[in-house]
Every structure is written in structure tokens, then in C-alpha cells.
Amino acid sequence: MKIALIGYGKMGKEIEQIAVNRGHSIVLTIDITNPEDFTPENLAKADVAIEFTSPGVAVNNYLKCFDAGIPVISGTTGWLKQRELVENTCKEKNGCFFYSSNYSLGVNIFFELNRLLAKMMKGFPQYDVSITEVHHTQKLDAPSGTAISLAEDIISINDSKTNWTIEKQKSKEELSIKPVREGSVPGIHTIKYDSEEDYIEITHSAYSRKGLAFGAVIAAEFSYGKTGIYSMKDILKLV
């Protein structure tokens, strides 16, 4: 499989190493030093694009990939206010779009554990739930896409919460997300149910970017030759 890497920072280089080890070739790399190479002609050389950039440019990158007729695997977070535009354009172009707020196998299992715990805790209103996420100082968006996914899953299950906030919790209906940016932390996400008597806590901690990079390559392999909109649930068969 021939891969275009849109975004060639630390994550892009990690993806490149895993992809090459799995027998794929990198035919195009794009970063801030060579935007002139981001053309339909160059994209057409690839079978699939993997995009890890920043929220401000991600959507335009997806649309370019749809125009070039290649599947795009989205690893960027913080752009979801334009999700309807992206998905509608993908359908109009008969393209393929794969998005996950986190490509780690462990995190996607953690998503399922979070949903299960949220169902269990519905009958115990004395426990108030909150989320803390910790990432490296270079991460541009806050809260993380993973934290937002966790929060939205809790809200969809626990009717005592109506929205999430990164501000100080003003009412019991708000789910507080606390973003922390420090050092070179790859990612830590903690869900805490706190009461006056005790608390219940689940945490996922990433050792490195390798889990994310491996998942992105697997998503690219899955998307090759397909049309439609997909997520990690389609690969892992998680319901």
C-alpha cells in the first residue's frame, strides 16, 4: 500500500516506521516546510492518506484528499464543529473517511469500560463524575479529543449530566473536564466518580505514541479500497 503522510512531525515519523515495517511505502510527506507539494497530482500517487496535523488546517486537508479520490485517516482532534461538512462532502465525493479521537487499542477498550461504568453508576446519584486528562505541552487542543469522547459517552448514558465544561463546575448537571499540559506526557485519561464516603476511578495511561501510530496504520489498511465513514469500532467490532 502506498501512503501519503499529511503531517510529518513526531507522530508522522512514528507512523512511517510502523508502516514501512509492515511492508508499505511512503510516497508523499507533507509538513509546514513543503506545502507546495500538497497537490492533487501528488496525492493521486497514494492509495490512502494519514493526516495528523492541527485543528486549523485539518478540514481543508480532508477535503483535498476527497477531491483526489483517496481515503483519509484522520488523527487530528479539535475540528469536530465542522464534522457535518466533512462527512457530507465525503458522501458527495463517494470517498472514505476514517476518524477516531484516539487510535490506541487500549484507549478504545477504555471507551467501552467508560460506557459500562456509566451504566452501572446511573443508579447512584451520590457519586459525581469528572474527567482529568494530561498531555504534553505541545498539544494544541484542550480538552483532548479523547476526553471529549469520554465525556459525551457519559452524558449520553447518565441523564444527570447535560453538558461538559472545562471551567469550574457551576451545577451538578455539568461534567467537569480538567486539561493538564506538562512535560512530554503522551496521554493520561482518568474518570473519577466521587462521593462523600469514597471514590471509584479508572485510568488509561499511554507509554508512548506507538500505540496510536500502530492503530492509524491498521485503520489505513482497513480503509484501502473502501468508501464510507468508519471508526475504530468497525475494526475492533466493539458495540
Supply the DSSP string of the chain, one letter for each residue. -EEEEE--SHHHHHHHHHHHHTT-EEEEEE-TT-GGG--HHHHTT-SEEEE---HHHHHHHHHHHHHHT--EEE---S-GGGHHHHHHHHHHTT-EEEE-S---HHHHHHHHHHHHHHHHHTT-TTPEEEEEEEE-TT--SSS-HHHHHHHHHHHHH-TT--EEESS---STTEEEEEEEE-TT---EEEEEEE-SS-EEEEEEE-SSSHHHHHHHHHHHHHHTT--EEE-HHHHHT--
* Residue 50 near residue 4 (C-beta atoms within 8 A): yes
Active-site entry in 24, 64, 135, 204: 135
Q: How far apart are CA 39 and CA 51, in angstroms?
A: 15
Q: In whole angstroms, what separates CA 100 from the centre of its chain?
A: 4
Q: How far apart are CA 68 and CA 95, in angstroms?
A: 9
* Residue 19 near residue 3 (C-beta atoms within 8 A): yes
Active site residue 189: no
Active-site entry in 2, 10, 91, 139: 139
Active site residue 170: no
**Which residues are the active-site residues?**
135, 139
